[in-house]
Chains A and B, each alone.
Chain A
Amino acid sequence: MSEENSKTSVVENAVVKKFVIPDKMKPVIGAAGFYLIMMAIFIFFAPDVFLDVGMFTAVFLSLPLYIIMGLALVFVTVAGEIDLSFPSIVPLSGLAFSVTLTATGFNFWAAFFASLLTGVACGLLNGFLVTKLGFSSLITTLGVNFMLIGLTQVLNRGEVRQFTEFDESPIRRAIVGSWGPIPAQMFWGLGLAVILGLIFNRHRFGIHVHIAGDNPEAGRAMGINIERVKVYCFVLVGICCALTSTVGILLNSTYYSTMGEGYLLPVLAAVFVGGTPVTGGRGTIAGLVIGATTVVFINTGVIAVGLDGYYTQLGFGLVIILSLLGHRTLSGRLTR
């Protein structure tokens, strides 16, 4: 240890490194490899279906919804928590959107704002229960999920709300129109992935999310407000659910209170297939996008190959188990 205390010494890269795959890229490469193998199998068995542009358009219609929710789930998972309440925040914030839309005479921005507000409130509720009361996030958010689904049903009373008046509006076209063969929402979903990816990897908040899930005590000792970081993660889930509901309602021009059903397991699968381990402290946004694509292709693909719908779940199960195997081979260890 020298006595000079200047931080200005010049750094030259004298170390010659042989080429190795950076640890951060391994889950992404694993997820991508897995996706390609799966697609190869699909194409082999049904080339006419899987090489058709229409197939991709169909997938891209719903894929962004999975991506948007999955992005927030990556943050929560890496922060060392889990959120199972997102399938209920989607219909609740969607209800807020629909009711406000009708009440304001089709003012999109007011409706969107109401939806966001609802999402944020749900996230704050989860965050409060988990960080202030110290409940397990797994059980808390499971309970909140039931609660909010129930609340939505009670408030909506089985009504299906249609917004055909909105069909030709420029806002609808901008959000869920089509840009060539690609649905517009795909660009929004990927755009959000890029922004959240930057925040996840480069922003102070993203760094703190990693630390929160890795060693929260260390973070606290270094002056990071770990509880606040976790609350923000839950709020992010709420916001992403509100976005999902808005896109979903515009897509179908319809609100129905069961719109969040069927997302829970595929979105979680997308996170884990994408290479984000359940143990916290580590995760990947790029992997999530690939994982979501994998999951949605199974959904669409199993039927397109000519198997009946009963095989979808079987396919999911196989993919999840096989991808875990793949990630472990690449990254060494997924569980600690």
Chain B
Amino acid sequence: MSAEPLVELVKIEKTFGRVQALTDINLKLYPGEIVSLVGDNGAGKSTLTKIIAGTEKADAGGLIRLRGADQKAWNAAKARQLGIETVHQNRALSEQQSIYANVFMGREITNRFGFVKRKKEIEETESLMRRIGYTSKVWTPQSQVLKLSGGERQGVAISRAILFDSSLVMLDEPTTAMALSEQAEVIEFIKDLKKQGKSVIFISHNPWDAHAVADRFVILDRGRLVFDGPKGNMSADDFIQMLRDIAKKGSI
């Protein structure tokens, strides 16, 4: 693992009204590692990814550092510019628009007057759809997203995250609403990302998946970081037992 962390979170806190969603989160992510972010419902996993993705603002006092540089005024546009791609839990798709418009959402290929190069976007979307194994001939890049199934929509959201060159990909529950075969593909795809040298944060409700892909586990419990350590030779059973213990006692 290289010395300099890709992303560093220092004292991240988040409150929603009177609810403390995250408390004193300190976390370092290194290039080329897959981190499984686990924890019960309401543990703060999604909130934490949203803060890293820039769609949710952390409370004052916390700090996000990217490749050693402090990031002030962090937002979603900036996060994407600096190479952080996210597959959000709600998929973040504009359903009445076409697949290609969704893939290039917020990152349209335009000429210098801001007009979209539609042909180019459609072509790239088409080759992307093939690359990730969209075999269905029913859908073209111009099809509206609302005509796709849940798994296919998830496929669009994932394609969007890999089309652009990134250094960190965060996937929040990417396998929900997917068929078993599709789930297996997603796991393969996450391993591919690592081979390309990208870092991955993977959130899953399925502890076996979370264990299988991870290099390292980060466990949240009621907004606190209660475990951060490498997988080493921890077996899936040990891992699940550890999760159970945490759920019972609040710590290991």
Contacts and interface: CB of A to CB of B under 8 A. Distances in A.
A26 interface: no
Interface stretch (A51-59, A185-193, A219-227, A318-326): A219-227
Nearest to B192: A3
A30 interface: no
B131 A2 contact: yes
Contacts of A221: 53, 55, 76, 86, 88, 92
A180 to B, nearest CB: 33
B118 A202 contact: yes
Contacts, number: 107
Interface stretch (A91-99, A112-120, A210-218): A210-218
B97 A210 contact: yes
Contacts of A202: 115-116, 118
Task: Assign chain B's interface to a size class.
Answer: 35 or more
B192 A224 contact: no
Contact of B96 (A7, A9, A11, A214): A214
A7 B88 CA distance: 24
A205 interface: yes
A5 interface: yes
A265 to B, nearest CB: 27
Interface residues of A, number: 32
Interface string B99-133: 00100011110100111101000011011101111
A218 B196 contact: no
A282 B140 contact: no
B72 interface: no
Contact of B97 (A8, A214, A223): A214
A103 B160 CA distance: 56
Given A215-B92, A217-B92, A281-B96, A224 B106 contact: yes
B174 to A, nearest CB: 13
Nearest to A1: B189
B245 interface: no
A21 to B, nearest CB: 13
Given A1-B132, A15-B140, A215-B94, A222 B105 contact: yes
Nearest to A16: B137
B185 A223 contact: no
Given A2-B133, A9-B127, A221-B86, 14 more contacts: A1-B132, A11-B127, A15-B137, A202-B116, A202-B118, A204-B108, A205-B114, A214-B96, A215-B94, A220-B55, A221-B92, A222-B92, A223-B80, A282-B96
Interface of B: 53-55, 75-81, 86, 88, 90-97, 101, 105-108, 110, 113-116, 118, 123-124, 126-128, 130-133, 137, 140, 144, 160, 163, 185, 188-189, 192, 195-196
19 contacts: A1-B131, A1-B132, A7-B124, A203-B114, A203-B115, A204-B115, A207-B101, A207-B116, A210-B97, A211-B97, A217-B92, A218-B93, A220-B55, A223-B54, A223-B79, A223-B81, A281-B94, A281-B95, A281-B97
